[in-house]
């Protein structure tokens, strides 16, 4: 058998390019095209974090400075979002208010995930605790989340820290259930058997082999918790059971604008828009992450 060498007259002529040339995109562009929701959500969240951190430098004044002479001014070049019934600048208050929402959202997502994950791991691994822990979680889940948060807030003094605790408690059972379910199916997998057979200790199996496999669904769940925590914080503040009124938060601004909303709707609408867009961004990120991490479910839910 004779090899066909390059340049050999017997070789077939090079095929003409019928297909259009493959457009070469950079890694960044490829990511944007594949995961538009992650990029859009992430960019919006990034913008909000920027606003929260740089609030003092974005043409704001002291958000708590009273100016009774300039009460309830409509939006104007001087007061971009107008002023509230105590003459405070709503633009400044809304920008500073982003801090509370973001801190509460991220803290609750982190705390609920970590606590729920630990409870779920124990419940899934240690058989005799399973029934007891899951009954307690069922009981906690039977109390509607916002009501549980309201009851907790009614017992404590209003502070950002207490708001975070009150919103975290109702979120923990769902994470615990999710992680428990994952652990129960993962512990039967061959790679865990292999680890057990090769003499790995319990903790090593739990943290090296099981835990990393729960992280993807847990991350998705955490983004949804973050979004719902932001809404719950606003609801608690709105009904007067949340962040103390001295601290500007979106819920507080809306709670104060409530009495005047029929005549001065902009007091309620500016924080409402910021809150909705931020929560939308977190939800988009969550949807995008879910599709990216579990391609099988993509486009279904």
Partner 1 sequence: MLAYILRRVLQTIPVMAFVALFVFSLLYIAPGDPAAIIAGDQATPADIARIHAQLGLDRPFLVRFADWAWRVLHGDLGVSIFTNLPVSHMIAQRIEPTLSLMILTMILSIVIAVPMGVLAAWKQGTLIDRAVMLNAVIGFSVPVFVIGYVLAYIFALQLEWLPVQGFTSISQGFWPFLRTLILPAVTLGGIYIALIARITRATMLEVLSQDYVRTARAKGLGQNSVLFLHALKNAAVPIATVIGLGVALLIGGAVVTETVFAIPGLGRLTVDAILRRDYPVIQGVVLLFSFAFVLVNLLVDLTYTFFDPRIRY
Contact set with partner 1 (CB under 8 A): 135-136, 138-140, 142-148, 150-156, 227, 231, 234-235, 238-241, 254, 258, 261-262, 265, 268-269, 272, 275-276, 279-280, 283-284, 287, 299-301
What would the two tokens of residue 166 be?
């009150």
Residue (79 or 238) nearer to partner 1, CB: 238
Residue (11 or 298) nearer to partner 1, CB: 298
Residue (19 or 154) nearer to partner 1, CB: 154
- Give me the least distance between CB of 209 and partner 1, in Å please: 31
Integer Cα distance of 272 and 94 in angstroms: 10
CA nearest to 100, candidates 254, 221, 219, 220: 254
Integer Cα distance of 179 and 117 in angstroms: 6
* Cβ pair 132, 176 in contact under 8 A: no
- Give me the least distance between CB of 53 and partner 1, in Å please: 23
- Give me the least distance between CB of 45 and partner 1, in Å please: 13
Residue (55 or 284) nearer to partner 1, CB: 284
Residue (12 or 142) nearer to partner 1, CB: 142
Residue (121 or 279) nearer to partner 1, CB: 279
- Give me the least distance between CB of 110 and partner 1, in Å please: 21
* Cβ pair 94, 270 in contact under 8 A: yes
What would the two tokens of residue 92 be?
């400044």
Q: What phi and psi, each to the nearest 5 degrees, are found at residue 84?
A: -90, -170
- Give me the least distance between CB of 251 and partner 1, in Å please: 9
Question: Quick one: residue 240, left, alpha or beta (phi over 0 = left, psi -120 to 50 = alpha)?
Answer: left
- Give me the least distance between CB of 296 and partner 1, in Å please: 12
Residue (150 or 195) nearer to partner 1, CB: 150
CA dihedral 94, 99, 101, 104 (to 10 degrees): -160
- Give me the least distance between CB of 281 and partner 1, in Å please: 8
Tell me the β-bridge partners of 83: 89
Fill in the DSSP letter of residue 232: H
Q: What is the largest CA-CA distance in the chain?
A: 99
Summary count for the chain: helices (H), strands (E): 11, 0
- Give me the least distance between CB of 208 and partner 1, in Å please: 34
Residue (33 or 277) nearer to partner 1, CB: 277
Integer Cα distance of 131 and 148 in angstroms: 23
């Amino acid at each position: 058998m004779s090899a066909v060498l390059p340049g050999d007259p017997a070789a077939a002529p090079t095929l003409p390019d019928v297909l259009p040339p493959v457009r070469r995109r950079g890694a960044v562009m490829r990511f944007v095209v594949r995961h538009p929701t992650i990029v859009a959500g992430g960019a919006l969240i990034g913008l909000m974090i920027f606003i929260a951190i740089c609030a003092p430098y974005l043409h704001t004044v002291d958000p708590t400075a009273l100016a009774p002479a300039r009460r309830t001014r409509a939006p104007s070049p001087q007061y971009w979002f107008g002023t509230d019934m105590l003459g405070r600048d709503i633009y400044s208050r809304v920008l500073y208010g982003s801090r509370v929402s973001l801190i509460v959202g991220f803290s609750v997502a982190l705390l609920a995930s970590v606590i729920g994950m630990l409870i779920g791991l124990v419940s899934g691994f240690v058989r005799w605790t399973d029934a007891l822990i899951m009954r307690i979680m069922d009981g906690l889940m039977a109390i509607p989340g916002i009501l549980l948060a309201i009851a907790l807030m009614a017992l404590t003094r209003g502070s950002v820290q207490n708001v975070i605790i009150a919103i975290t408690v109702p979120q923990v059972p769902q994470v615990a259930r999710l992680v428990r379910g994952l652990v129960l199916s993962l512990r039967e997998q061959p790679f865990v058997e292999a680890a057990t057979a090769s003499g790995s200790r319990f903790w090593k199996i739990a943290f090296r082999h099981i835990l990393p496999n729960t992280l993807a669904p847990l991350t998705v769940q955490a983004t949804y918790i973050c979004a719902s925590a932001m809404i719950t914080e606003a609801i608690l503040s709105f009904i007067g059971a949340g962040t103390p009124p001295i601290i500007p938060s979106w819920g507080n601004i809306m709670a104060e604008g409530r009495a005047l909303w029929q005549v001065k709707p902009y007091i309620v609408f500016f924080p409402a828009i910021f809150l909705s867009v931020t929560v939308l961004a977190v939800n988009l990120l969550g949807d995008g992450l879910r599709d990216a991490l579990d391609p099988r479910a993509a486009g279904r839910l």
